[in-house]
Amino acid sequence: MNHLIPLPASLLPTQLEFQLGPDTQILVAPATPETLRVSEFLAAALRRATDYALPIVPDPPAHARDQIFLTLHDDSTLGAEGYELNLTPDGVFLRAQTPAGLFYGIQTLLQLGAPLSAQEPKTWRAATGSIRDVPRFAWRGAMLDVARHFFSVQDIKRYIDWLAAYKLNRLHLHLSDDQGWRIEIKTWDKLATIGGSGSVGGKKSGYYTQDEYRELVAYAAERFIVIVPEIDTPGHTNAALAAYPELNCDGVARELYTGIEVGFSSLCLDKEITYQFLEDVIRELAALTPGEFIHIGGDEAHATDKTAYTQFIARVETIVEKYGKRMVGWEEIGQTKISARAIAQLWRGEYGAQAIQQGAQVILSPGKHAYLDMQYNEQSPLGLHWAGYVEAQDAYAWDPATFSADIGESNILGVEAALWSETLLTFDDITFMAFPRLTAIAEIAWSPQAARNWESYRQRVAAHGARWQALGLHFYRSPQIDWE
Ligand code: ACM
């Protein structure tokens, strides 16, 4: 029980063992499409680890023994995502108010199972004890930059699997930047066909069709992850400016950009067509995105006039709201007038207070802790280091509530690990930068501050390293951790 990540809110090991047997069933009550689906998720994972059939039994009689029993019941202290998990030698009892709570309990249960490697094959056992668990923050995010380099639908799904395993619930996709535009927009089709053909160094370009994006949204939703699409504006827009000459103030299309400098591009805020373009893009994205958020970027608009920027953000928020969504933006939007529904994402820690004064909440992604693209050290083969080197301990050992004197716990919607892809080309590159830092951010987002500390994390994550290794995950063997 002592290697769980994220650490549960409360945990009482009882030092015994539950073992799956050939007759173990997964009982579920009440049986609804959602509870049956999460039961099937558990059954599929356990069937992969054993030879057992593990049938799902809807609405079984009470007092079944030697079973895994999933139930929904009213317990407001568990909230929308919490769960209670009791393992005894006689059975596993998982309760939650919601299917999401059951899903998180299942992730815990799967971590408690003995590692897949080096065991007598086809058995599965777990240490016993009781857990009551609720998350600290509602927003537990990961951002992936698919604009600098493009990543396939398959790669995104594999990343989603890992996010779900660590109880993250937001995948923020950075879908456009100077180098590339990655989402099909039917009313402006050259964004994808021209803008999508660019990338850093001219490598790994492409775009998601709307059907592919819908497929990602659905895959994520099955794992209780909300996709947050970002179209970065008014800067970081060279790919759009290359696709459509009319979006440029001088009416001349820009060349596709393959470098990694920032801050040189801007939409033309004086032209009405700019707002028609934004409305079309936001309308199509909103229709594709069941989640409540649209991220409009707003960072590093160094090539945009300051007054025009302020008016622009207000107008963009009106458009986002018109299509029934909440605006998320990088912290620079805090300098402008935003509504209390807006969400500002801190990365430098300069404008959070201004957002909070307007009633908005913040997401914390401080570069020196939560930017997974920062190099681990001077020798790191991948990544940048403008925010410093970020070793595993730097990612782990900080508290969102004390990060800034201006920002208290109630102002914080959550935490997000950002992964920019200027130097990343492959899924292995992604996971090398993400692990073991993504798991640190996941724990910060979920676990009570008082329960966690670096020494405990470094021991627990070593056990995860053994599992990552067995599953072929490429990760960074930080010298700060005594890997098993
Ligand atoms: C950012 O890193 N420009 C948000």
pLDDT tens-digit readout, 47-87 = 988 888 999 999 998 766 779 999 999 999 999 999 999 99
**Confidence (pLDDT) at 22:** 87
Q: Does a structural domain hold residue 192?
A: yes
Test site for ligand 1: of 145, 330, 331, 362, most ligand atoms within 8 A of the Cβ? 330
DSSP bridge pairs for 433: none
Do 161 and 124 belong to one domain?
Answer: no
CATH number of domain containing 167: 3.20.20.80
Active site residue 215: no
Residues 253, 109 within the same domain: no
Taking CA atoms only, the protein residue closest to ligand 1 atom 3 is 299
Whether 177 lines ligand 1, by a CB cut-off of 6 Å, is: no
The parent domain of residue 192 ranges over 139-470
The three-point CA angle 384-388-392 to 5° equals 90
Quote the pLDDT of residue 190. 98
Looking at the structure, tell me whether residues 64 and 179 fall in a common domain.
Answer: no
- List the residue whose alpha carbon is closest to atom 2 of ligand 1: 347
In ligand 1, which atom is closest to the CA atom of 262?
Answer: 3
Measured in Å, residue 417 CA sits from the centre of ligand 1 at 12
pLDDT category, 115, cuts 50, 70, 90? very low
Please count the structural domains in the chain.
2
Catalytic residue (one of 184, 300, 317, 443):
300
| Within a domain: 479 | no
State the pLDDT at residue 1: 75
Average pLDDT over residues 375-381: 98
- Domain co-membership, 146 together with 107: no
Residue 164 confidence (pLDDT) above 80: yes
151 Cβ inside 6 Å of ligand 1: no
pLDDT in tens, 269-313: 999 999 999 999 999 999 999 999 999 999 999 999 999 999 999
pLDDT tens digits, one per residue of 124-155: 899 999 999 999 999 999 999 999 999 999 99
Residue 50 pLDDT: 87
Q: At 27, is the pLDDT very low, low, confident or very high (cuts 50, 70, 90)? A: very high
Strands 56-58 and 26-29: parallel
The pLDDT value given to residue 63:
67
Same domain flag for 89 and 238: no
For the CA of 300, the closest atom of ligand 1 is 3
Q: Are residues 105 and 172 in the same domain?
A: no
Q: How far is the CA of 347 from the centre of ligand 1 (A)?
A: 6
| Helix, strand, coil fractions of the chain, as percent rounded to 5 | 35, 20, 45
Give mean pLDDT, residues 166-178: 98
Asked if residue 330 has its Cβ within 6 Å of ligand 1, the reply is yes
User: 31 and 53: one domain?
Assistant: yes
371 Cβ below 6 A of ligand 1: no
Pair (199, 120) in one structural domain? no
Please indicate, yes or no, if residue 419 is contained in any of the structural domains: yes
Q: What whole-number distance in Å separates Cα of residue 205 and Cα of residue 149? A: 6
Q: State the chain's mean pLDDT as an integer.
A: 96
Residue nearest to atom 1 of ligand 1 (CA): 299
Out of 76, 104, 133, a domain closes at 133
pLDDT band at 118 (very low <50, low <70, confident <90, very high): low
For residue 255, being part of any structural domain is answered with yes
Residue 120 has pLDDT above 60, yes or no: no
Within this chain, do residues 103 and 167 fall inside the same structural domain, yes or no? no
* Ligand 1 closest atom vs CA 420: 2
Q: Does 432 reside within a domain? A: yes
- Ligand 1 midpoint to CA 173 (Å): 13
Structural domain ending residue among the three candidates 105, 133, 161: 133
Residue 239 shares a structural domain with residue 320: yes
Closest CA to 149 of 202, 204, 197: 204
The reply to whether ligand 1 has any atom less than 6 angstroms from the CB of 475 is no
CATH number at residue 25: 3.30.379.10
15 Cα to the center of ligand 1, angstroms: 46
Strands, E, within 43-89: which ranges? Answer: 56-58, 67-72, 83-88
Span from the CA of 365 to the centroid of ligand 1 (angstroms): 10
76, 107, 133: which is the final residue of a domain?
133
pLDDT at res. 116: 45
Q: Are residues 58 and 170 in the same domain?
A: no
Contacts for 357 with CB less than 8 Å, ≥ 6 apart: none
**Residue given tokens 């951010």 in the structure block:** 441
Is 422 near ligand 1, meaning CB less than 6 Å away?
no
Q: Which atom of ligand 1 is nearest to the CA of 418?
A: 2
Residue 477 in domain:
no
Question: Are 435 and 298 found together in one domain?
Answer: yes
Tell me the pLDDT tens digit for each residue of 190-249: 999 999 999 999 999 999 999 999 999 999 999 999 999 999 999 999 999 999 999 999
Q: Is pTM beyond 0.95 here? A: yes
Q: Using alpha carbons, select from 111, 97, 86, 112 the residue that is nearest to residue 166.
A: 111
* Residue 2 counted as domain residue: no
- 31 located within any domain: yes
d(CA 457, CA 460): 5
